[in-house]
């Protein structure tokens, strides 16, 4: 439907929309005051997935299902979706920030000759215009952005927006448009899966535990993983720890790593360099444990303990256990 607000679906590659879609659909719903629709490009759409999107507020799910949509390839996805955009003229196109969505939405915006606000952390309607807020200059400043015309295209930082309450009473109409599927020039050779940590994904986790140079060595991350298992957190690291080879790069938090925005960030032996803050300063609650009372991380921390992390971490883990096992 013309003027609809579209949310591009990020999924787990097995037919289920990711949890972050509840945030994207929730925010789109608040802004739209009208129709919110989900658009799902996938090689495998499931009925449960469609139901889930409906429960989160999509009145319609456009299902573009084709083997060619996996893995994501810009040359395939962009023309396919652009064809649907040309037919349906949505007013806004939103997606969560993930590595592939970053590229896809940027390429799509170029195809459509439209503006893109990437990694947005807030939206407001001012009259008839959408205004997006996004952090710039390593998160030191917030920029308010406006578009010259619709469609307004934006990606949303995970964990920032209030998720839609799932309601099983709501269901989505399903539309399966046929679009041309181009043949890509690039070809997948292989996909190397990462060994699963059994913990939540860093960028999506509601709680993140981060270990810095103060961890002293790779073997000591076990104590953070133990705490993570108790509170359901992801474990990340500072660049100093990554550069020392203690953790793989995908766990790095900060300007040259991942941007996270969890409900709770706990930093152990992290000094709080500006480049680290760039990747986590929008966390809702920040806890820092550091033996140096002058460490800059205490300037942005909500709660701090000045002390030796090797004493604090096990004691804190026990305390969390007591609380959560009650």
Partner 1 sequence: MKIVVAVKQVPDTATQVKISGADPKAIDTAGITWIVSPYDEFAIEEALRIKEKRGQGEVVAVSLGPDRVKEALRSALAMGCDRAIHLNDPAWANADTLATAQALAAVIKQEQPALVLCGRQAIDDDMGAVGAQLAEVLDWPCASWIMDEAVDADAKTVRVGRQVEGGLEVFDIPLPAVLSAQKGLNEPRYPTLKGIMGAKKKEIKDVKPGDLGLTPGAPQLMVKKLEALPARPPGRIIQGEVKDAVKELVRALREDAKAI
Which is nearest to 210 in space by CA: 265, 291, 139? Answer: 265
CB 263 to ligand FAD: min, Å: 20
If you write DSSP's letter for every residue of 205-251 in order, what string do you get?
A: -SEEEEE-GGG-SGGGHHHHHHHHHHHT-EEEE-HHHHHTTSS-GGG
CB 217 to ligand FAD: min, Å: 11
Residues near ligand FAD (CB under 6 A) are: 212-214, 238-241, 252-257, 269-271, 273, 275-276, 279, 289-292, 295, 308-310
Closer to partner 1 by CB, 84 or 301: give it.
301
CB 22 to ligand FAD: min, Å: 28
If you write DSSP's letter for every residue of 38-62 in order, what string do you get?
A: EEEEES---HHHHHHHHHTT-SEEE
Closer to partner 1 by CB, 169 or 191: give it.
191
Cα distance between the two ends of the chain: 50
Six token digits for residue 305: 């303990």
Residue 39 CB coordination number (10 Å):
26
Closer to ligand FAD by CB, 84 or 240: give it.
240
Query: Is residue 237 a contact partner of residue 247, using CB atoms and an 8 Å limit?
Result: yes
Pick from partner 1, ligand FAD, none: which does 279 bind, CB < 5 to 8 A by kind? ligand FAD
CB 140 to ligand FAD: min, Å: 14
Of all residues in the shown chain, the one whose CB is closest to ligand FAD is 254
Pick from ligand FAD, partner 1, none: which does 220 bind, CB < 5 to 8 A by kind? none
| DSSP assigned state of 17 | B
| DSSP assigned state of 251 | G
Distance CA(217)–CA(246), nearest Å, equals 6
Closer to ligand FAD by CB, 21 or 316: give it.
316
Pick from partner 1, ligand FAD, none: which does 170 bind, CB < 5 to 8 A by kind? none
| DSSP assigned state of 127 | T
Pick from ligand FAD, partner 1, none: which does 115 bind, CB < 5 to 8 A by kind? partner 1
CB 138 to ligand FAD: min, Å: 9
């Amino acid at each position: 439907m013309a003027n609809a607000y579209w949310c591009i679906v990020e999924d787990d590659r097995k037919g289920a929309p990711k949890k972050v879609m509840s945030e994207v659909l929730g925010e789109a719903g608040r802004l739209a005051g009208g129709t919110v629709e989900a658009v799902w490009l996938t090689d495998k759409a499931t009925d449960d997935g469609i139901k889930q999107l409906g429960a989160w507020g999509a009145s319609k799910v456009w299902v573009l299902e084709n083997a060619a949509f996996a893995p994501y390839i810009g040359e395939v996805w962009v023309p396919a979706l652009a064809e649907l955009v040309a037919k349906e003229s949505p007013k806004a196109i939103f997606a969560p920030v993930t590595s592939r969505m970053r590229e896809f939405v940027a390429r799509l915006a170029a195809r459509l000759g439209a503006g893109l606000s990437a990694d947005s952390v807030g939206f407001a309607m001012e009259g008839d215009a959408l205004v997006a807020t996004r952090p710039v200059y390593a998160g030191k400043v917030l920029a308010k952005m406006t578009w010259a015309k619709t469609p307004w295209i934006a990606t949303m930082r995970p964990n920032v927006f209030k998720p839609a309450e799932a309601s099983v009473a709501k269901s989505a109409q399903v539309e399966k448009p046929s679009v041309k599927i181009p043949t890509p020039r690039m070809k997948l050779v292989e996909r190397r899966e990462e060994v699963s940590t059994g913990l939540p994904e860093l960028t999506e986790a509601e709680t993140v535990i981060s270990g810095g140079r103060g961890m002293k060595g790779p073997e000591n991350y076990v104590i953070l993983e133990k705490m993570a298992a108790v509170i359901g957190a992801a474990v990340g690291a500072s660049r100093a720890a990554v550069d020392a080879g203690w953790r793989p790069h995908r766990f790095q938090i900060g300007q040259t790593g991942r941007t996270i925005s969890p409900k709770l960030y706990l930093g152990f032996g992290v000094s709080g360099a500006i480049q680290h803050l760039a990747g986590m300063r929008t966390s809702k609650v920040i806890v820092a444990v550091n033996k140096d009372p002058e460490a800059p991380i205490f300037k942005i921390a909500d709660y701090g303990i000045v002390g030796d992390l090797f004493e604090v971490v096990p004691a804190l883990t026990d305390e969390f256990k007591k609380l959560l096992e009650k």
